Amino acid sequence: MGSKTKKTPTPSLTCTTLLEDEQTRCPKPRTHGNPVERCQMHHKQYITLTKKYKKAAQLVDKTLGGASIPTKAEILAYDSIHDLLEKARLMKKYVSAIRVEIEGRKIHHERFFLKVDDGHKIRLKLLRKWLSEGVEIRDALEVRAVTLHMKDHLGREWMEEFQSEGLESQESTIDLSPEAIAEFYDRSIGEKAAGEPDNNTIQEDDLIDLKLRRHGSETKFSLTWNGDVLKETADELRSLEVFKYAMQQYARRILFHEPTLYLKTLDKVSFKDLFLDDDFDFVDLIRFVIVWMKRLEFGLPWWKDSVIEALTLAGRPGSNTANLGDLGNRFNIVGGWIYNRTHKGKISNEGWWVLLNSFKGGPTKKTENRFVRLCNSFDDLHGFLSFAALGLIESPSFCTDKNNPSYDLRSIRNHMSLCGVLITDMVSTGFPDRPPGPFPSTNPASRPGYRMWANIEFRSYMFGALRNEPDHFVDAFLKELRCRPDTFYVVTRSETAPGREVETFGTVSAQMRGMMFEARIGNSNPTPKAQEEWSVMRSATDILYGTGENKPVKGLEGLGRASGMVGYLTALDRPKSAGWFFNFKKFPVKYFAIMDAEPNRHVSHLARNVAWAAFRAQGLVKGSYDARLYAKASDELVQAHATKRLSGFLPSDSWYVGNLHAT
C-alpha cells in the first residue's frame, strides 16, 4: 500500500486567526467557537484574552468612578511618604490595567477580528488619554514622595541642584512628558520582529502577558550589565571592562537625575535588584531608555565622567569611585558612587579613545562641537581633535567641496590639528579660481564711447584657534605667517585681551573689495587708472566681528549693497549659537582669521600654505612648499602622534596608521 498523504484544509475551512506576524493565517482546521471559526489553541487564547482585558476594563472604570485618583493640588498637600507611596501603588495598578486593556483590544482586532468596530475605536482613544493622565498623576505622587524623603537629607541642597539641572544651554532637550512616554510605549510595544516566525509550539493562553512580558524582559535583560554576559570576555579585554563600568556609572546618573526613577533606587543594592523589582515597571523602563538614547546629546558630559570613573574601576581590581572627587559631593546609588560635580582633570588619551569609540558607528561630522563642552583646557581640545585627526570622527563638511570633489582638505585639516592649529571653518571665494581682473558692467558710462567696468576681489579665509598661553609652537607659527605678507593676511584675538582688541599683520586687509571705472569701447582688457581706488566691502576684521548689516559702499553704488557678514565672534555672542563649535568652550583661546593674499581662488591654496607654515614651525620641513616633502613630513607627524596617543594603553600590534582599530 502506498503511504498516506495528509490533506491540507482549504482556506475556507482553516482557522480565521492571524499568526503573530499579523499577516499569515493559521493553517489549522476550524474546530471551536460559536460559530466555529478557530482552532483549539487560538480559541483558548481568544477566551483568555477577552476575559483578561474585560477584567482590566472593570478596574479602570472602578478607579475612574471612585475617589482614588488625587488631583495635583491634593498631592502637594500630602505630608506622609507612606500615604504617597500607597497612592502611587494604586495608580500603578490603574495604569497597568489601562495598558492591559489597550493591548487586549489591539490584539483582539489585529489577530481575531480584522475590522475594528466603532466601540473599540472610541474606547482605545479614551484609554490612551487616561494612560497619559494616569502616568502624570503617578509621577507627581512619586516626585512628592522624593521631596519629603529629601527634606532632612544631609545632601539635599546639592542633590536637588543635580536633579534639577537646566537644559537651556544644551543642544538637545528630553521630553519625558506622559504623552512622550505613551508614544514611545506604543511605538516600542508595537514593533514586530522582522521575519520572525510564529512559534506555535508555545502553548501560551495569555497573549497580553506574553507580549508585555517578552518586550519588558528583553529590555530589562539588556540593562543588567553586571550579569554574566560580559564576564568571560571582559576578563580578557580591558576595553569591554571599561565600557561595562562606564555604562553602569552613566546609568547611575540617569537614575539619580530623574526623581521618579531615583525613588525606585532606595534600598536597592544593584542594578539587577532594581530592574527586576516589580516596582520598576514598564513606564520607568521607557523613561530610562529615553534618557539613555540621548547619550550623544545632552547626556554627553555625564558619559564623559562615567568613562573617567570606569578607567579607574577597570585599572584597580576591587576599587571603587568613592575617592575620585570631593567626598562632600559624592552619593551612593545602587551599589556605586557618583558625583554632583563634573571631573575637572585632564582627559587622558585612553579616556578620549574609549569615549569616541563608545558610540556605535562613530560620531558624525556634525557632532564635533558637542565634544568641546567636555574639554577643560586647550590640552583637552587638542587631544580631542588629534583623535579626530587619527580617524575616530568624520571630518566636518567644510573640508570637502560638493561642487568639486577634487578639493578634499580633510588630510590637511587633520595635519594642522595634530600640530595644534585648530581649524573650525574654511571658506572659498565667491568666484573660486576666476582669473583676477575687470569685467564689463551693465551700468551705463558717464560719457559717449565709453563702457563701465567693474573689478571685484574676494579672498578665501579660514578661522580657528591656537593656545592662548605662552607657547613656543604658537610663537613660531605666527612668526611664519608674519614673514609672508605676500601670502597671508592675519587677524588674531586673544580672549584675555581687553575689549575687542585684535592684532593684524599682512598687506591687503580687504576680504572683499571692488572698484568701478570707465574705459573706451573696444578695449577688451582695460586697466584702471592709477588714481582709481579700491572700495572695501568687507574687511578681514569683519571675519571676526562683522554685524551682518548690508550697507552701500561708496564708489560702488552701481553694484548695489554689499552683502553683510556675521563675524564668528559676533555670532558667538548672539542667541541660538548652540551649534557653533566654540559655544560650550570653558577656557580662553587665541582666535585667528587667516586670509589668502591672492584673490579669487579656492581655499585649498590657503590651506596648503598654512599647513606648510605649521610644518615649518614644528621643524618638520624647511624652505618653500614641496609636495614630496609635505607627504613625507605628514606621514612622520601622524605616526608620531599615533604613537604618543595610543602606545600607553594599546598593544603595538593592535593598531597601525591608516586603519586604526581597537582589538
Residue 594 pairs in a beta bridge with: 462, 490
* pLDDT, position 331: 79
Could you give phi then psi for residue 381, rounded to 5 degrees?
A: -65, -40
* pLDDT, position 118: 81
Instruction: Tell me the C-alpha distance between 15 and 322, whole Å.
Output: 62
What SS3 class is residue 399? Answer: helix
What SS3 class is residue 71? Answer: coil
Q: For 363, left (φ over 0), alpha (ψ -120 to 50), or beta?
A: beta
CA-based max dimension of the chain: 116
Q: Is residue 342 scored above 90 in pLDDT?
A: no
Separation of CA 4 from chain center: 63
* pLDDT, position 49: 87
Mean pLDDT of the 264-277 span = 79
Separation of CA 257 from chain center: 19
C-beta neighbour count of 356 within 10 angstroms: 19
Residue among 306, 290, 65, 324 nearest 187 (CA):
290
Secondary element (H or E) of residue 461: strand 461-467
Q: Is residue 513 scored above 80 in pLDDT?
A: yes
What value, to the nearest 5°, has the Cα angle with vertex 644 and ends 638 and 645?
A: 90
Mean pLDDT of the 206-218 span = 56
- The residues, ordered by sequence, that sit 6+ positions from 245 with a Cβ below 8 Å of its Cβ are 306, 309, 310, 313, 314
Cβ(594)–Cβ(481) below 8 Å: yes
Q: Is residue 219 scored above 50 in pLDDT?
A: no
Instruction: Tell me the C-alpha distance between 212 and 79, whole Å.
Output: 35
- DSSP3 helix / strand / coil % (the chain, rounded to 5): 45, 10, 40
- Cα end-to-end distance, the chain, whole Å: 64
In this predicted model, what pLDDT tens digit does every residue of 407-466 receive, in sequence order? 899 999 999 999 999 999 999 876 655 566 777 777 788 888 888 888 888 899 999 999
What value, to the nearest 5°, has the Cα angle with vertex 139 and ends 136 and 144?
A: 125
Give start and end residues of each alpha helix (H) in 328-426. 349-357, 368-372, 378-387, 410-419
What value, to the nearest 5°, has the Cα angle with vertex 474 and ends 605 and 364?
A: 60
Q: Confidence class of residue 191 from pLDDT cuts 50, 70 and 90?
A: very low
Who has greater pLDDT, 3 or 580? 580
Who has greater pLDDT, 317 or 480? 480
Mean pLDDT of the 193-202 span = 38
Q: Is residue 354 scored above 50 in pLDDT?
A: yes
The DSSP secondary structure of 567-613, one letter per residue, reads -HHHHHTSSS-TTSTTTT--S-EEEEEEEESS-SS-HHHHHHHHHHH
Instruction: Tell me the C-alpha distance between 243 and 355, whole Å.
Output: 9
Mean pLDDT of the 269-281 span = 78
Indicate the average pLDDT of the chain.
79
Q: Is residue 186 scored above 50 in pLDDT?
A: yes
Who has greater pLDDT, 12 or 398? 398
Q: How buried is 631 (Cβ within 10 angstroms: 0-12 exposed, 13-18 middle, 19+ buried)?
A: exposed
The 8-class DSSP code of residue 347 comes to P
Cβ(107)–Cβ(210) below 8 Å: no
Instruction: Tell me the C-alpha distance between 636 and 634, whole Å.
Output: 5
Who has greater pLDDT, 583 or 611? 611
Instruction: Tell me the C-alpha distance between 565 and 279, whole Å.
Output: 57
Who has greater pLDDT, 630 or 520? 630
Query: Which of 253-257, 544-548, 571-575 is the least confident region?
Result: 571-575
Q: Is residue 173 scored above 60 in pLDDT?
A: no
Query: Which of 53-57, 79-83, 279-283, 569-573 is the least confident region?
Result: 279-283
Find cell 575637572 and name the residue. 344
Mean pLDDT of the 134-148 span = 81
Secondary element (H or E) of residue 496: none
Could you give phi then psi for residue 657, rounded to 5 degrees?
A: -65, 130
C-alpha cell at 391: 580617524
Q: How buried is 47 (Cβ within 10 angstroms: 0-12 exposed, 13-18 middle, 19+ buried)?
A: middle
Query: Which of 94-108, 194-208, 600-614 is the least confident region?
Result: 194-208
Instruction: Tell me the C-alpha distance between 42 and 547, whole Å.
Output: 71
